[in-house]
Amino acid sequence: MAKVKSSFFCQNCGTQSPKWIGKCPSCGEWNTFVEEVIQKEESTVGTWKQGSGKQKRAVVPKRLQEINFEEQSRLVTQDAELDRVLGGGIVPGSLILIGGEPGIGKSTLMLQIALILNNTKVLYVSGEESESQIKMRAERMPHKSENCYILSETNTQSIFQQIEALQPELLVIDSIQTLHSNYVESAAGSVSQVRECAAELMKFAKETGTPVFLVGHITKDGAIAGPKVLEHMVDTVLQFEGDRHLAYRILRTTKNRFGSTHELGIYEMRSDGLRQVANPSEILLTQRDEALNGVAIGAMMEGNRPLLIEIQSLVSPATYGTPQRSSTGHDAKRLNMLLAVLEKRGGMRLGQQDVFLNVAGGMRVDDPALDLAVCASLISSYEDSPVPEDICFAGEVGLGGEIRAVHRIENRITEAEKLGFKRIMVSKYSVKGVDLDKYNIKVIPVSKLEELYQGLFGE
């Protein structure tokens, strides 16, 4: 019998150390190192054995030209939002990690996907809920499937025994932090256990071509709990975001080996599950009875999807000491830059003004094309004059006050036209070579902030 070996791991970032230390040299956290057994006995690392009759991959190295490649068709679900985020469907043999806050709807989304795939044999493994609890949740959903199997188990050896007997076409693990392997002597959810269990599931996915979904917990900082190597091992990392007190949820890609990392899907949480939102621009625009000061509409891009989003701002004289600069859903540093440009290039006295900026709908945005809408919103609030309701904006603002070009301007114009806007203000450098006569919306090209001001509030 081999000698028992142990090491110390940081429970925050997964850094390994041969001895205990008080402060982690990688993440800087204190008292996070815990001793874990890394080798109990001589045995194979993974417990998955190739006994299902599927073709085993060659282990002999080959030249790249000798490798036979046949493009595998993706598994397309009835959930268009998930398919878009994954890049067109579920890739066979892929390992997909989905993380989010407690109560955001991760388990609901995974169970809903399992029930939608009626012609696919799905094994849903839960380490957090009993079979009756999952059944209770499934009864509220409109989708029914005869090929959805439920297993309440946390031991990976027992799970792989059931997998070999059932041979599912899709595997869902809820959650990876609840699993434990007999070959690692540490508590479930520790760095060693999460790494070992993920390695066993990755080996199973790659050798059998079975796609695997892993539900992961997140830390208080919003990162996936467990070692950072977990995110490196998987093929795709999805982040399920949103305020659990609000109805809308956003599924965002942070890593994808088979598609774009800038896609997002939007869902509405209802009593019977998650409903897909096909046209998110409608829910991101507030229906107003009258024009309000400090409100402007910006055309942004998330991956290949154009979105019209409402920017709200409030500019008021500072009453107490240092003026406040607060932004919700928008980069605070970029807001400070735009305020400096408006003061230097636009002549606005904002040094003694409180500025509050909000992105309606609870979204977080980072598209520089929203700069023009932010500036229009700030000017509107400062001048106490509303922006016309039939106009939207798409343009980046530079430090010199110039309006810079943005990509995919035609998609933004088409989305604004579809939602009934009469005018859109863009950079004149974006529309070079674009046939503007084919649009029923008036495109207003501008090159400087002065032209923005004159176009909105000029006499």
Which CA distances in Å does 108 have to 183, 216, 241, 267, 269?
Answer: 31, 14, 14, 12, 10
Nearest to 296 by CA among 266, 337, 325, 338: 338
- The reported pTM is 0.72
Give the model's confidence band at 26: pLDDT under 50 very low, under 70 low, under 90 confident, else very high.
Answer: confident
CA–CA dist 438, 431 (Å, integer):
13
pLDDT at position 247, please?
75
102 known ligand binder: yes
Give the model's confidence band at 320: pLDDT under 50 very low, under 70 low, under 90 confident, else very high.
Answer: confident
Indicate if the pLDDT at residue 103 is higher than 50: yes
Tokens representing residue 101 in the block: 């806050």
107 known ligand binder: yes
343 known ligand binder: no
Tokens representing residue 314 in the block: 């409030």
Indicate if the pLDDT at residue 44 is higher than 70: no
Residue 90's beta-bridge partner residues? Answer: 75
User: Could you say which DSSP state residue 68 is in?
Assistant: -
pLDDT digits (tens, 9 = 90+) for 62-78: 888 887 767 678 899 88
Indicate the average pLDDT of the chain: 86
Domain spanning 283-457: which CATH class is it, in words?
alpha beta
100 known ligand binder: yes
Domain segments of the chain as ranges:
5-39, 77-278, 283-457
Q: Mean pLDDT, to the nearest integer, of 90-118?
A: 92
| Bridging pattern class, strands 212-216 and 95-100 | parallel
pLDDT digits (tens, 9 = 90+) for 368-417: 999 999 999 999 999 999 998 889 999 999 999 999 999 989 989 998 99
pLDDT at position 175, please?
86
420 known ligand binder: no
pLDDT at position 53, please?
42
298 known ligand binder: no
How far separated are the first and last CA of the chain, in Å rounded?
89
Quote the CATH superfamily of domain 77-278: P-loop containing nucleotide triphosphate hydrolases (3.40.50.300)
